[in-house]
């Protein structure tokens, strides 16, 4: 089988500086906020999944919980949450021995108040790992890893349904090898088993999962994970579940053998869970893919639940690919309807966008991301998202900081001020309601690496 193109090389990582600039004027979405039901209605994702003996969860970012529509959609539709970043090592133990749980606690208490399950994400991962961890020698690193697992799991003991004990420990490509990390390089292959044994000793009631991406179909990477899980089960290493992240796009589509792959892991005697589902695209193609993923989980009796990697497209880690079930105004997308239908539920509201109240003003937002950097220059990308009305055009000013110079632009019509520092990028066409587009540019740094100032998007 061929391995999918690893998505990390196929698309730019979202970097440090993400600036969201909202439109001027009132947000159309504010008027028709969805109501938060105390009990889940029969027509929500969570209640439909429950009727099938599954949970339906979402990644949650603590910073958005105060947004009315975000919290209302979360509470109405989902019955499980995964903190998107708040339980990672850099968030919980950024300096050795100093544990900070504030942001993660906010999510856990919200979930508890609403009766939602919590997936803990994640204890041992090569990424979002503070620098001090990589600087330790082997025996010190082992102590630090054990202590990290112990302290974090202890803090949440009894409150976590499943923990991603180890995340993304295998390389992409055909080698089936372990990924290089401080843990792998200094502690060797045994660190994964050690992590699971430590986790089990702290909270034996939590389900302990191994979680990875590009393992969704049968391929060299999933074969390597399969061999590890099989070995663990044979030797009594305490592993309860395997998470399949399921980040899909055109380069990494839903594999044809997705269900078969879930089933072969389940047959090893572990639960399987879809842990970070998102599928780039739109309309009926995206809806069909989502429906198929849900059907695959339902067809595998040990597939205990599904989690999408965010509530709304506007906060997705790859927002420009609009990979989620709700648009930027919390309107239900066709993908939502397909998921609900696959779960056997039925929609009462018929996929309406809460922002479509009629008479709404044209609006847009602009989000800046640095997508790539070289020794002398960097690429910036600005994603434009239309509000709840279709646009015939938009413009966004971008100011670079002298002596920076913009050397190239793409996907827009640029015009310049006299000094050459302020570029106003205009659309080349219209934009459908809720849709996104983006333009890009290269900035020659000339020694200055400050991110450009991206002004508010003007809709027309």
Active site members: 168, 276
- Judged by CB under 6 A, does residue 248 bind ligand 9MR? no
Residue 123 and residue 164 in contact, taking contact as beta carbons nearer than 8 Å: yes
Closest listed residue to residue 388, CA positions, set 339, 440, 340, 326: 326
Closest listed residue to residue 384, CA positions, set 333, 310, 320: 320
What does the alpha-carbon distance between residue 203 and residue 392 come to, in Å, rounded to a whole number? 56
φ, ψ for residue 224, nearest 5 deg: -65, -40
We find the least distance from the C-beta atom of residue 402 to ligand 9MR, in angstroms, to be 30
We find the least distance from the C-beta atom of residue 62 to ligand 9MR, in angstroms, to be 12
What does the alpha-carbon distance between residue 412 and residue 179 come to, in Å, rounded to a whole number? 39
We find the least distance from the C-beta atom of residue 276 to ligand 9MR, in angstroms, to be 5
- Judged by CB under 6 A, does residue 85 bind ligand 9MR? yes
We find the least distance from the C-beta atom of residue 70 to ligand 9MR, in angstroms, to be 15
- Judged by CB under 6 A, does residue 317 bind ligand 9MR? yes
Long-range contacts of 223-228 (CB under 8 A, 24+ apart): 223/176, 224/170, 224/176, 224/177, 225/170, 226/264, 226/265, 226/268, 227/176, 228/192
What does the alpha-carbon distance between residue 307 and residue 319 come to, in Å, rounded to a whole number? 17
What does the alpha-carbon distance between residue 216 and residue 15 come to, in Å, rounded to a whole number? 26
- Judged by CB under 6 A, does residue 295 bind ligand 9MR? no
- Judged by CB under 6 A, does residue 18 bind ligand 9MR? no
What does the alpha-carbon distance between residue 47 and residue 235 come to, in Å, rounded to a whole number? 38
- Judged by CB under 6 A, does residue 84 bind ligand 9MR? yes
- Judged by CB under 6 A, does residue 14 bind ligand 9MR? yes
Options 75, 203, 216, 276; binder of ligand 9MR; rule CB under 6 A? 276
- Judged by CB under 6 A, does residue 126 bind ligand 9MR? no
Q: DSSP 3-state helix, strand, coil percentages of the chain (rounded to 5)?
A: 30, 25, 45
Number of residues that bind ligand 9MR (CB under 6 A): 9
We find the least distance from the C-beta atom of residue 103 to ligand 9MR, in angstroms, to be 13
- Judged by beta carbon, residue 44 or residue 245, the one nearer ligand 9MR is 245
- Judged by CB under 6 A, does residue 86 bind ligand 9MR? no
- Judged by CB under 6 A, does residue 128 bind ligand 9MR? yes
- Judged by CB under 6 A, does residue 313 bind ligand 9MR? no
Residues that bind ligand 9MR (CB under 6 A): 14, 84-85, 127-128, 213, 245, 276, 317
């Amino acid at each position: 089988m061929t391995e999918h193109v690893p998505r990390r090389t196929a698309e730019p990582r979202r970097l440090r500086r993400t600036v969201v600039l909202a439109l001027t004027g009132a947000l159309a979405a504010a008027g028709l906020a969805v109501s938060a039901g105390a009990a889940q209605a029969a027509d929500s994702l969570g209640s439909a999944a429950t009727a099938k003996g599954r949970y339906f969860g979402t990644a949650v970012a603590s910073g958005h919980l105060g947004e009315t529509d975000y919290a209302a959609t979360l509470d109405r539709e989902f019955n499980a949450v995964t903190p998107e970043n708040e339980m990672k090592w850099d968030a919980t133990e950024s300096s050795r021995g100093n544990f900070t749980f504030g942001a993660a606690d906010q999510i856990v208490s919200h979930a508890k108040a609403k009766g939602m399950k919590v997936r803990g994400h994640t204890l041992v991962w090569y990424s979002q790992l503070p620098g001090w961890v990589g600087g330790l020698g082997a025996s010190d690193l082992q102590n630090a890893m054990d202590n990290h697992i112990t302290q974090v799991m202890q803090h949440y003991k009894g409150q976590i349904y499943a923990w991603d004990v180890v995340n993304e420990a295998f390389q992409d490509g055909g080698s089936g090898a372990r990924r290089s990390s401080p843990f792998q390089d200094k502690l060797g292959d045994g660190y994964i088993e050690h992590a699971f044994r430590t986790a089990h000793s702290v909270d034996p009631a939590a389900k302990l999962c191994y979680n990875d991406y590009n393992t969704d179909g049968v391929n060299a990477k999933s074969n390597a994970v399969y061999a590890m899980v099989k070995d663990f089960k044979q030797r009594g290493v305490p592993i309860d579940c395997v998470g399949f992240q399921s980040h899909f796009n055109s380069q990494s589509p839903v594999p044809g053998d997705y269900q078969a792959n879930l089933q072969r892991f389940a047959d090893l005697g572990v639960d399987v869970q879809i842990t970070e589902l998102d599928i780039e695209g739109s309309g009926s193609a995206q809806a069909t893919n989502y429906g198929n993923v849900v059907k695959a989980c339902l067809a595998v009796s040990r597939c205990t639940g599904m989690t999408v990697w965010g509530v709304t497209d506007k906060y997705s880690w790859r927002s420009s690919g609009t990979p989620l079930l709700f648009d930027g105004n919390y309107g239900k997308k066709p993908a939502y309807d397909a998921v609900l239908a696959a779960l056997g539920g039925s929609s009462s509201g018929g996929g309406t966008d809460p922002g479509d109240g009629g008479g709404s003003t044209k609006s847009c937002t602009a989000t800046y991301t640095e997508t790539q950097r070289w020794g002398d220059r960097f690429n910036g990308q600005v994603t434009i998202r239309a509000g709840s009305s279709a646009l015939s055009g938009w413009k966004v000013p971008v100011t670079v900081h002298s002596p920076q110079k913009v050397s190239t632009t793409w996907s827009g019509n640029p015009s310049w001020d006299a000094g050459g520092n302020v570029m106003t990028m205009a659309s080349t066409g219209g934009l459908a309601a809720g849709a996104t587009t983006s333009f890009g540019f290269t900035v020659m740094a000339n020694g200055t690496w400050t991110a450009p100032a991206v002004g508010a998007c003007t809709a027309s």
